[in-house]
A and B are shown apart, each in its own frame.
Chain A
Amino acid sequence: MCGIAGLIHRGKSSNVGQELQGMLQALRHRGEDSTGYALYGDTDGENFIMRFKVGENVGEGSTSIMEDVSVYDERKKIVDGHLSELGAKIVKEERILPYSLRYEIKYDKDLMEFSQKIESVPGVEILSMGKSLEVIKDLGNAKVVCDRYNLDKLVGTHAIGHARMATESGVDIKSAHPFWGYPFSDVSVVHNGQLTNYWNNRRVLENKGMRFMSECDSELIAVYLAEKMRKGATLEEGMRESLTGLDGVFTYFVATKDSLGMAKDTMAAKPLVLYESDDLVAMGSEEIAIRSVLPQEIDTYDPFDGEVKVWQI
C-alpha cells in the first residue's frame, strides 16, 4: 500500500523533521517496513551534504546480507581515499550508525563522475547529494527512524517522506524511498503505486548511462526525471512527460532545492489529499497526515487525474 507525505513552507523555515515525522507516523498503518525522509534543511549552501551507506540493514525478502562492522570500516576507508583522489575535501564527518554516514564536502566538479567513483566501491550507495537535501531512510516506522537519526530538530523549508509496505522488492535500505535523482544535486522522489513498464524503461535508461541501485519500481521515477532534466527539460516538463512515459498507477512527489511537486496518474488510482495556503502546502495519502500538522478545521481536496503541480518555497 505505502503512504507518502510532503510539505513546503513558503517564505519561512520550520521544524520540518518533526513535522514530517508526525505526518508519516499518522500513515504508519499503510506500511512500516521502512520509512524515509528527504529533508531540505537551512544551510549556507557552500558545501555538499552527502548521505551514504556502506552496508545494508537487512529485512524480509532482501537480496542483501548483513555484514561485519569491520567490512564497513574498510569501505569507509576506500571512500575517503576516493574523495581525496576526486579533490573533494571533507569538512565535517558524522557516522550516525555503523553503516550510515553523513559528510559535508567541499567539491565543485562533475557530480556524475563523483558518484560513479564513490559507488564503484561494492556495498556503498549515495543516498543523497545536495547542498540542502538530506535523505535518511531505514527499517521501521517514522518514529523509529526519526529517533535513530535524531531528525526531530532539523529545521528547513520543505520535506517529503514515505512509509513503505514492501511489495515489489525486499525490505532493506536500498529499496526504501525517497530516491535521490542521481546525478542531480538536491532532487528526491517518493512514490505510492506500481509501475508496470519498469523493466522496459530501466533497460532504455541504463543504456543511456543512468544508474539503478535497487529493483524497486519507484526508483525509475527519480531516474526518469533526472534523465529528462539532463536533456534540458524543467522539472515540471519532466513530470508532465512522465504521465504518459510511465505506465501503471502512481501518485508521486518530487522535491528540489527550492520546489516541491506532485503528479497523479491518468486513472487517479492512488490517493492524495492536498491542503494549500499562501504560506504552507501540505499533502499526503490520507487527510490524517495533514491533520498531524494542522489539527484545526481546514479545506482540503483531492487533485484530479493527470494533475501535475509544482510549488516554490
Chain B
Amino acid sequence: MANIKTSEKKTKAQSMGLHSEVLTGKTQQKFFNPDEAENFYYFGTHDVDFNKRAELDVKDMDCKQANGKIDELMSQGYGTIVIKNPQGKHSLGVGILNKLNLIFEGSLGYFGCGSVDGPTVRINGRVGWSCAENMMAGKVVIEKNAGSCFGAAIRGGDLICKGSVGARTGIDQKGGTIIIGGDAGAFTGFMMQRGRIVILGDVGINLGDSMYDGTIFVGGKIGSFGSDAVEAEITSSDIGWLKRKLKVAEIGDNFDVSKMTKVVAGKKLWNYDALEPTERKGAI
C-alpha cells in the first residue's frame, strides 16, 4: 500500500481503494418526464382491468409455471386473479410490477410475493420465510401466520400479517410499513434502516438490534432490546398515524395505540460517526 502521508490526493484515494476518475460511457439511469409519459415503458408491466377476473388452479404446476401463467393472464388484461391450491409452494406471485388484485386461496411457501411493485395481494393462509422480500410498493395481507424474515429489505408498501411472525421480521428494512396482528420472534427490525414496524402482540429478544433508523411500535411485552435500540416517547403524530394505519390494515379494532412502546435507533454505534474513512483510520 502506498504511503498515504506522501501521496498526492488522487493517489491517496486510489491507495484506499477509491476511484476519483471521471466515469465515461452511457448511464443506465432513466429519468421520468411527464411530457413523455405516453412513451414511458416500465419493463415487465401490464395494463390490467380490475373487473376482468380469472381463476387459476396451480395444484399441478411448479412455481415457474404458475408465475408464468399469472404473467400471461396479466398480459391478457386480467386485473383480478384468484390462485387456487397453492399448497405451500415456494416463490409464488413474485416480481409483479403493476397494479393487480391477486388472491391466494391457501398458503404459500418461501419467498412468496417477493420483489413486487404495486399489486394488492391477499393470502388466505400462511406464508413461509421471506414473504414479500424486497417489496417496493403495493399491499400484501396475510390472514394467518408468517415465517421468519417477513418483509426482509422491503423498500415501500404495506405488509400486513394478521397472525404471528417468526424471527428477523423487517431485517434490513429500507422503507414501507410492516404490521403484525400477533406476536413476533427474536431480532425483529434487525439492522433496519428506514420505515416502520408495528407489532400488536409480544416481541422476542434483541428487538431492533443494530438498527440504523426507522421506528418500531410494540403493543405487548418486549423480550429484550437489541444493541443500540432505545425507547422513545410516543407522540400525538405517532398515535394518529398508528390509528390510520391499523384501520387500513383491518386489524387492531379498539386497540389502544397510545400505550404502545416506541423503539428507535440510539445512533451510538461506531458506524454512525461522521468521520471520513481517512479520518477514521487516523482515529484508530
Contacts and interface: CB of A to CB of B under 8 A. Distances in A.
Contact of B88 (A268, A291, A299): A291
Interface in B96-140: 105-107, 109-110, 125-126, 128-129
A302 interface: yes
Interface in A216-274: 266-269, 271, 273
A272 to B, nearest CB: 9
B205 to A, nearest CB: 7
Contacts of A305: 167, 185-186, 204-205
Contacts of B106: 297
Interface string A273-313: 10000000000001110110001011111101110000000
5 contacts: A271-B129, A286-B110, A287-B126, A290-B88, A305-B205
B130 to A, nearest CB: 10
Interface string B157-186: 000000111111000000000000001011
Contacts of A295: 87
B83 to A, nearest CB: 13
B186 A286 contact: no
A268 B125 contact: no
Interface in A55-95: none
Interface in A149-175: none
Interface in A140-156: none
B210 interface: no
A267 B128 contact: no
Contacts of A271: 128-129, 147-148
Contacts of B187: 267-268
Residue in B146, B185, B204 with the greatest tally of chain A CB atoms within 10 Å: B185
Given A268-B185, A305-B167, 7 more contacts: A268-B168, A286-B128, A288-B90, A288-B109, A291-B87, A297-B105, A299-B145
Interface residues of B, number: 30
A114 to B, nearest CB: 43
Nearest to A270: B148
Given A273-B147, A299-B144, A301-B126, A288 B164 contact: no
Contacts of B145: 299-302
B89 interface: yes
Interface of A: 266-269, 271, 273, 286-288, 290-291, 295, 297-302, 304-306
B166 A302 contact: yes
Interface string B53-91: 000000000000000000000000000000000011110
A76 B159 CA distance: 61
A300 B88 CA distance: 10
A304 B125 contact: no
A305 B89 CA distance: 24
A304 B186 CA distance: 8
A297 B186 contact: no
B186 A287 contact: no
A295 B59 CA distance: 10
B164 A287 contact: no
Contacts of B166: 268, 302, 304
A305 B147 CA distance: 12
Nearest to A26: B88
Nearest to B146: A302
Nearest to A297: B106
Contacts of A298: 107
Contacts of A301: 126, 145, 163-164
B109 A302 contact: no
A271 B106 CA distance: 20
The 5 lowest CB-CB distance pairs between A and B, nearest first, are A287-B88, A268-B167, A302-B166, A305-B186, A301-B145
